[in-house]
Amino acid sequence: MTPRCLLCLLGSCLLSHWARSSNLNCNQEQYEHGTRCCSRCGPGRKLLSDCTELAHSGCTECEEGHFQAGWTKEKHCTPHKYCDPNAGLVTRLPGDAKHNAVCGCQAGTYCSNADCQTCLPVSACEPGYGVVQKASNYSDTVCVACKHGNFSSTVSASEPCRPWTSCGALGLVMKATGTNLSDVLCEASRSRSSVPVLIPVMAAMAACLVLLIFYWLHRNGLQRCTQKQGAEPPEAVDLVAVPRAQHPAEVHYEEHDERQDFPVQETLLGRQPVAQEDGKESRISEQERL
Ligand SMILES: *[C@@H]1O[C@H](CO)[C@@H](O)[C@H](O)[C@H]1NC(C)=O
């Protein structure tokens, strides 16, 4: 055999194949049966009999609890999916002749995949973490660590991080700062609580002021009185001064250092009694002389 003949054979082979399939130009809603194209059965139906030269394909409805969604040449429909309660599944859509049933997971669980064959328990966020996305049918809870200024004190699958209480907005002051686990502590503001205290304090101060004024007026009146009475010294001073003179042993020195060498006795009995700077004592001396 020559290579040319081989090529001829291959070519005729391909050609004949193409010719045969092009003869049977079945579309997507048909299937090839023998030398002809038979109609497929539509959604909700199944095939009973292939078409013949005289008859179309025989189709019939799916049996109860079965479905068929497309165009088929199958003689059986597919049974609906069973959502097993023992596996934690619930039937979300029951299914019909054209659609499969849809299973879901019981509350507190979510489907492990798109088919929802098994359920997984929904996660809760630990204290210090808040929920940013609650669990859905097909996804778990999404938690995030509470940022500064926010807190979460509970294990929860729904609670987000909450901002710390603004003590100032409540007219309070912060007693203790918050953490990612706990809120700030507020307490009554000091300036506010001192307002009722301020009133008696101010009243007391006013009373003191009045007393001071009275005292000052009274003292001024007394001074004027003594000035009118002249140079007569108060008798009480005599009582003090006399024993001093009579018992020099008891009276050693005056308070001032410069007069340490001059006992009072000497000053009083001596030449001039004017040694003292104190006006009171000079008056005493004057009386002694008289
Ligand atoms: C909460 O704060 C503490 C102390 O600042 C820190 O060690 C911890 O990692 C924080 N937790 C979270 C969930 O961010």
- The pTM assigned to this predicted structure is 0.52
Q: Where are the domains of the chain?
A: 192-222, 239-278
Write the pLDDT tens digit of every residue in 186-231. 999 766 555 566 666 678 888 868 888 778 888 877 666 556 554 4
Nearest to 265 by CA among 287, 241, 282: 241
d(CA 193, CA 162): 29
Which amino acid type is present at position 207?
A: A
Nearest to 179 by CA among 197, 189, 164: 164
Write the pLDDT tens digit of every residue in 110-123. 999 999 999 999 99
Which residue's CA is minimally distant from atom 3 of ligand 1? 180
Q: Are 253 and 264 in contact (CB under 8 A)?
A: no
d(CA 232, CA 174): 69
d(CA 167, CA 176): 11
Q: Which residues line ligand 1 (CB under 6 A)?
A: 128-129, 145, 179-180
Could you identify the atom of ligand 1 that is nearest to the CA of residue 179? 2
Ligand 1 centroid to residue 140 C-alpha, Å: 23
